[in-house]
Amino acid sequence: MNRYDFKAIDKKWQDKWEEVEAFKALTDYSLPKYYTLIEFPYPSGQSLHVGHPRPYTAMDIVSRKKRMQGYNVLFPMGWDAFGLPTENYAIKKKIHPSVATKNNVETYKSQLKSFGLSLDWSREVNTCDPDYYKWTQWIFIQLFKYGLAYKKEMSVNWCTSCKCVLANEEVIDGECERCGSEVVQRYKSQWMLKITAYAQKLLDGLENLDFIERVKTQTINWIGRSEGAECDFSIKDSDKKLRIFTTRPDTLWGATYMVIAPEHPIINELKGNIINFDEIDSYRDAAAKKSDFERSELVKDKTGVEIKGVKAVNPVNNEEIPIFISDYVLISYGTGAIMAVPGHDTRDYEFAKKFDLPIIEVVKGGDISKEAFTDTETGIMVNSGFLNGLEVADAKKKITQFLEDNNLGVGTIKYKLRDWVFARQRYWGEPVPIIICPDCGFVAIDESELPLVLPNVESYELTDTGESPLSRITDWVNVKCPKCGGDAKRETDTMPGWAGSSWYFLRYCDSNNPDYLATKEALDYWMPVDWYNGGMEHTTLHLLYSRFWALFLHDIGVVSCPEPYLKRTSHGMILGEDGKKISKSRPEFIVNPDDMINEYGADSFRLCEMFIGDFEKSTPWSTNGMKGCKRFLDKVCGLTEIAKGKGATSELENKFHKTIKKVTSDIDEMKFNTAIAAMMTLLNDIYDHGSLTVDELRTFVTILCPFAPHISEEIWSMYGGTKLLSLTEWPAYDESKTIDAMVNIAVQVNGKLRGVIEIPVDSAQDFALNAAKSDEKVKVFIEDKSIVKEIYVPNKLVNIVVK
RNA sequence: GCCGGAGUGGCGGAAUAGGUAGACGCCCGGGACUUAAAAUCCCGUGAGAUUAAUUUCUCGUACCGGUUCGAUUCCGGUCUCCGGCACCA
């Protein structure tokens, strides 16, 4: 066999694996287990492009190797099917979202199967399946019962023309994506999940997890824990107080003005005292049109209005200071009000310069005539009453104690993390299983009534009241209150797409169980997930949301392990061949995997996906790269023509041991590209050598199997493999055979390479130096010079410093 | 703007507890085979000088500076690109 005849081979082995259920995770819970997880796809209107298979193939390689190493592997797949894009697609194409989803799932599934992934399809889940979302709703009810789901007034994007709520994504430059009309902020009561109650746990849990560093740091920054103090400023000629949060209570003496968010309720409370209320009100209107993001983006040009007729009083020195409203202060963080210390905060400094407000130095160490001094490590307090002379850290403790002792404030911890808005005014999502009773308030439906099935309606288009399309189905909406039996209504908002994906890894443990989310036994065995790979873009939302749910389900006794994922890695994106992100707006750069597989075969495609670059970095797609991978596989097939002799090993033995070692460790470290390069190098060495033994060929296809399983199975079967190669043992290597007797080391003179010498491995320093100095090329550079220093790094280099 | 990453030949990338920069592959050029082409095989391939030579030298890992015998790797600063910014999932 001198060619990879993929048309004959690929389907043959895919059918074989399916026939014998080769990749079915076993329910024998005495076996050592390994749970590999990839983010399940969102089956949108577009078919898969060449970017999707990269993480799938990577984790398939990991799963296949673990299986060969004797683990009972769970490598499942499913569909994250609810959500806005499918609904919009359905409205546009005039197909029901459930039909659109069904079609897309079919397409995706056949594509995934053509890649030869070793998935256990018997555990497939679909978040829009009532048997699945029954448990999504059940979890919501538990969150509600434990006080972690509550309703709150929230601002939403409102299109003035479409008369509907828009997702942030649908707002482009303050205009509606569909009609281009103005978008304003409106208030609506929304279901929220109290993820902030888990902020500290989400932070603490990270510590012992094997998450890649950038995921950890981004999560930590997103949660944004900061220690500080809340402190009351009284309002002159009023009994009202303005409570602020600051991380720098030590700088209280430097507060020269205050700033409150435009939405702050105290504005209306003080209406009678405010002289320029009209001006304030129009600023509020303008701010209402901007999102938080737009507000902080315009940070360079700070805007604001002084609230005239009202002064605040600094509690530590009784100074009267002005109050401004400005949109750089967000109502959603802290208390929605700050004391401004322009000498020691960059944003306050800019604002003070613009509005010509006094800047007082209270921490020595910088030059506040030029910029704010924000260092908290080195400063000494000045102009600060009893704090003078203290270091910042000590001053913080002392002032916090002072505030508490005098009932002026309290030391506190705040998080940037905000609660999770858990409602959408949309059709295509899980109905929220709550009944709103005029007498009893919010009442969860009885768990025996789950799933609360999403009504199958003709019209799921948006309403012009801003309510969910479900609100139109009166016979579904109108119900009796489960508590008092009186007339009541169902909640008509649905859950966001994040809901189903927040616990799917639990369902995989026991996907088909009608009575439980999953049995305790299955959860105890499979959880936690051993290795979860996914996109960086999911770090701050999905990853955090799902950890929150898992921690909660642990707290109420559903799962035994607190943290759901032991290890988290992240792949880089595949870009278009033009080096830019693949996007439906540039269809000429979308490459369909089907075309690649038809032309080069599944194994070439898998190999190319993994060889194209560092798995963790994004990289442009290259159809040319497919050719190189196909050539490699053709040459692997060609080995069958030069394989001779049984049992005996050849001079290639050490090279085999080295390659096994490298491929084994590279897979564990996600360095798939160098693992493939190592196998290519070995292949070149075999051809240079001219032949290999049959056993060596069997070893070669065994380590190639996770990467190119079809061709490996085929060759394996040619050489008497009775059971599937995919279920055969991963080869061991002999460490002593991975080390060469001789080693080439570099010889530098004054740090410049002047020669290379071959010496025995682990040579002594004297030996190496003598060998280096007697090298003809090196001699020229050290003759007639005095040697100042000699450096020897064993097995690496010699550096001779001369004068 | 804020948070997190990245920048190495014509291209994708390799090599970092600081130690021979460019593994492996693509493209390209030359040759073999062929009536011819494709496929395949062999050779070459960072840039610039230099040599009879496949010789020798210099430069070179986004940019500027620093530490070091030695920096792609560490430190300080700058630029550019990518991901996220909470109702896309």
Length of chain A: 803
- State the Cα–Cα distance between residues A81 and A686, nearest whole angstrom: 48
Q: What is the pLDDT of residues A636-679, one digit of tens each?
A: 999 999 988 766 566 789 999 999 999 999 999 999 999 999 99
DSSP label at residue A345: -
Q: What is the pLDDT of residues A269-282, one digit of tens each?
A: 998 899 999 999 99
Q: Residue A229: which of A414, A406, A360 has the closest Cα?
A: A414
Please check whether residue A57 is in contact with residue A16, taking contact to mean a CB–CB distance below 8 angstroms.
no
Q: What is the pLDDT of residues A725-743, one digit of tens each?
A: 999 999 999 998 988 888 9
Nucleotide nearest to A626 (CA to C1'): B26
Q: Is A308 exposed, middle or buried (0-12, 13-18, 19+ CB in 10 A)?
A: middle
Query: Strand B: which positions are within 7 A of a protein CB?
Result: 1-6, 11-15, 19-21, 23-27, 39-42, 56-58, 69-71, 82-89
Nucleotide nearest to A756 (CA to C1'): B20
- State the Cα–Cα distance between residues A536 and A616, nearest whole angstrom: 10
Other beta carbons less than 10 A from residue A263's beta carbon: 19
A803 CA to B56 C1' in angstroms comes to 22
A270 residue type, one letter: L
Judge if the upstream peptide bond of residue A342 is cis by omega within 30 degrees of 0: no
- State the Cα–Cα distance between residues A86 and A43, nearest whole angstrom: 8
Nucleotide nearest to A191 (CA to C1'): B87
Q: What is the pLDDT of residues A671-706, one digit of tens each?
A: 999 999 999 999 999 999 888 999 999 999 999 999
Q: Residue A754: which of A725, A732, A785 has the closest Cα?
A: A785
Mean of per-residue pLDDT scores for chain A: 91
Q: How many helices (H) and strands (E) does chain A have?
A: 26, 32
Pairing outcome for strands A567-571 and A210-211: parallel
A435 CA to B16 C1' in angstroms comes to 60
A534 CA to B69 C1' in angstroms comes to 44
Pairing outcome for strands A363-364 and A164-166: unpaired
Q: What is the pLDDT of residues A490-544, one digit of tens each?
A: 999 999 999 999 999 999 999 999 999 999 999 999 999 999 999 999 999 999 9
- What are the structure tokens assigned to A222, written together? 């997103």
Average pLDDT value for residue range A367-391: 85
Does position A112 have pLDDT exceeding 90, yes or no?
Answer: yes
Angle (nearest 5°) at CA A364 between A368 and A381 = 130
Nucleotide nearest to A542 (CA to C1'): B89
What is the residue whose two structure tokens read 């049992």?
A647
What is the residue whose two structure tokens read 């399940």?
A40
Q: Which residue has the higher pLDDT, A580 or A685?
A: A685
Does position A298 have pLDDT exceeding 60, yes or no?
Answer: no
Q: Residue A744: which of A718, A771, A710, A720 has the closest Cα?
A: A771
Give whole-number Cα distances, A731 to A72, A651, A698, A710, in Å.
18, 19, 10, 19
What is the residue whose two structure tokens read 């996109």?
A535
- State the Cα–Cα distance between residues A196 and A199, nearest whole angstrom: 5
A3 CA to B16 C1' in angstroms comes to 39
A631 CA to B35 C1' in angstroms comes to 28
- What are the structure tokens assigned to A306, written together? 């002084």
